[in-house]
Amino acid sequence: MKHFDNKVAAITGAGSGMGRSLAVQLAGAGCHLALADKNAVGLAETERIVRALAPSVRVTTRVLDVGKRDAMFAWADETVAAHGRVNLVFNNAGVALSSTIDGMSYDDLDWIVNINFWGVVHGTKAFLPHLKASGDGHIVNTSSVFGLFAQPGMSGYNATKFAVRGFTESLRQELDMMKCGVSATCVHPGGIRTNIAQASRVASNMVGFMVASEQQGKDEFEKFFITTADDAARTILTGVRRNARRVLIGRDARAADWLARVLPSAYQALVVMSARREAAKANKRAKRAAREAMLNGGASNNNAGNNQGETA
């Protein structure tokens, strides 16, 4: 797709992060938008920003859980009814989970697979007939750097993002064979400054294994976020214009891709070494925090005692 002017794009996860940045940049390029998110507040804020920026762009919104197949198909039909056609779908909505495998609940695993994998499958299948009908269509599925290499404590996320990669690479080859006017791109962002870490689930089994506390796990995750969501969206849209099969975002993603290709099995030993080092640091930090809490608790107990003494 050479340009986005007067095209129609559907974006999932449009209420935050890269989804919002994609909406803003596409609107700036004259693209009409169908925006969806589970979070009604974030979605309304994206709609407000986009309408202020590009009043001539047609915008529709739908609060929706991408893991619900019927809702996704209904939204695809509704998008075509409202906009007359649809040219692009960005299956961008996603969540993160940190958990060991032996401690992982099926509830957590179902949650992430439903959103990160089934959400992409439903979005692809629901929109594909409409994209074909448009004569100029593109599917953009968001995997991750964790669709290129694995890491301990991330099996659920790794599984879904490797699955999105396999699904999308196969999809692209089928579309190439069909010559049906639709193409596909798989996106592999490195660490992007968005809300994903704070919105993630950190299972309690990670505490003491790789992180000092659930919150510290989220904060630690965020330290690796080096690219802005706006820069990431720009890279994605450049990739779509160039009809790239895959888009790597950030020098971290490019380095991880290189490492996994040059050392396809030995990279794991390097990751374990680095994870052990980080876990040791986290545990030291946890012990220090516990000691400080005990001391502070002791001090405030003493103070409480003193105060009681004074009032008595």
Ligand X SMILES: NC(=O)c1ccc[n+]([C@@H]2O[C@H](COP(=O)([O-])OP(=O)(O)OC[C@H]3O[C@@H](n4cnc5c(N)ncnc54)[C@H](O)[C@@H]3O)[C@@H](O)[C@H]2O)c1
Residues labelled catalytic: 157
Residue 156 is a binding residue for ligand X (CB under 6 A): no
Pick the closer one to ligand X by CB: 134 or 145: 145
**Binder among 11, 19, 32, 235 for ligand X (CB under 6 A):** 19
Pick the closer one to ligand X by CB: 199 or 259: 199
List Cβ neighbours of 206 (8 Å cut-off, separation of 6 or more).
98, 99, 100, 153, 214, 217
Residue 225 is a binding residue for ligand X (CB under 6 A): yes
Element (H, E) at 247: strand 246-249
The distance of closest approach from Cβ of residue 256 to ligand X in the complex, given in angstroms and rounded to an integer, is 11
Contact 31, 53 (CB under 8 A): no
38-64 burial code (b ≥16 CB/10 A, e <16): bbeebbeebbeebeeebeebebbbbbb
For residues 148 and 261, give the distance between their C-alpha atoms in angstroms, rounded to a whole number. 9
- Tell me the β-bridge partners of 88: 9, 138
For residues 68 and 142, give the distance between their C-alpha atoms in angstroms, rounded to a whole number. 18
**Integer Rg of the chain from CA:** 22
**Binder among 7, 11, 13, 159 for ligand X (CB under 6 A):** 13
Residue 65 is a binding residue for ligand X (CB under 6 A): yes
Contact 117, 46 (CB under 8 A): no
The distance of closest approach from Cβ of residue 213 to ligand X in the complex, given in angstroms and rounded to an integer, is 21
Pick the closer one to ligand X by CB: 134 or 227: 227
Q: Which of residues 36-55 bind ligand X (CB under 6 A)?
A: 37-39, 42
Pick the closer one to ligand X by CB: 152 or 191: 191
Contact 127, 171 (CB under 8 A): no
- Tell me the β-bridge partners of 12: 36
For residues 9 and 235, give the distance between their C-alpha atoms in angstroms, rounded to a whole number. 17
Residue 89 is a binding residue for ligand X (CB under 6 A): no
Q: Which of residues 181-210 bind ligand X (CB under 6 A)?
A: 189, 191-192, 194-196, 199
The distance of closest approach from Cβ of residue 2 to ligand X in the complex, given in angstroms and rounded to an integer, is 25
Window contacting ligand X (CB under 6 A); options: 88-96, 169-177, 206-214, 277-285 = 88-96
Pick the closer one to ligand X by CB: 72 or 134: 72
Q: Which of residues 118-147 bind ligand X (CB under 6 A)?
A: 142, 144-145
Binding interface with ligand X (CB under 6 A): 12-13, 15-19, 37-39, 42, 64-67, 92-95, 115, 142, 144-145, 189, 191-192, 194-196, 199, 225
